[in-house]
Amino acid sequence: MAKKSKPGTLSVYLYIPNIIGYLRVLMNCYAFYICHSNKELFSVLYFVSFVCDALDGWFARRFNQVSTFGAVLDMVTDRISTACLLVILSQVYWPGLFFLSLLALDIASHWLQMYSTFLAGKSSHKDVKDSSSWLFRLYYGNRMFMGYCCVACELLYITLFLLAKSQNENMNEVLLNAAKKNIILAFLLAVLFLGWGIKQIVNIIQLKTAADACVEYDINRKHEQ
């Protein structure tokens, strides 16, 4: 039986989903470059980049081009993009510590989850079938549910950025005034906040679960020595 040819390093870098990842990086760099001079274009570019996050996964599965490098590139791009937007929001709204806390939670939970995945020998950080949390399993096990939470979170941040007129604004006042002026926007904000809230709960669960996995790995390794 003929052996399958081993893909070269360059070919992996040139996988279609990875090329989409590079384009996302360039798109985000330009988007943040113009974020204060052109809020509308920034929002469009940022959201298009976010949508491409789903496309690269589809291409990876469709053309059998799943790679560890692609998964890491995807997660790093997501985390840095969201982190940059949260930093901007921390400068626009008061108190800024709220958004910086969200940034820390997002990065810490995903980094620990990725690291614990490799320690457990799993192929994907989304493999949480052994988790005791039904919400955690639902989040990573149902693409529609996870998609809703992720889209709601990013759209909420974009909406907050568009609603801000100056720096050091009170977020609660801005949201209340916007909701009073437009009932459709009020409903949209409620839907977005629901998805955002669920995602933050999942991040907390993910942080605790991944930390427990790392501690358990250390305990088992010491026991084997």
Provide the sign of the torsion angle of the four alpha carbons 129, 134, 138, 139, taken in this order.
Answer: negative
Residue with tokens 């053309």: 63
Strand partners, 170: 94
Per-residue b/e over 15-30, b at no fewer than 16 CB within 10 Å?
bbbbebbeebeebbee
**CA 196 remoteness from chain centre:** 11
Residues classed as catalytic: 78
Count of CA atoms in the C-beta half-sphere (13 A) of 34 = 14
Q: What are phi and psi of 216, to 5 degrees?
A: -65, -35
User: Hey, how many other C-beta atoms are within 10 angstroms of the C-beta on 119?
Assistant: 15
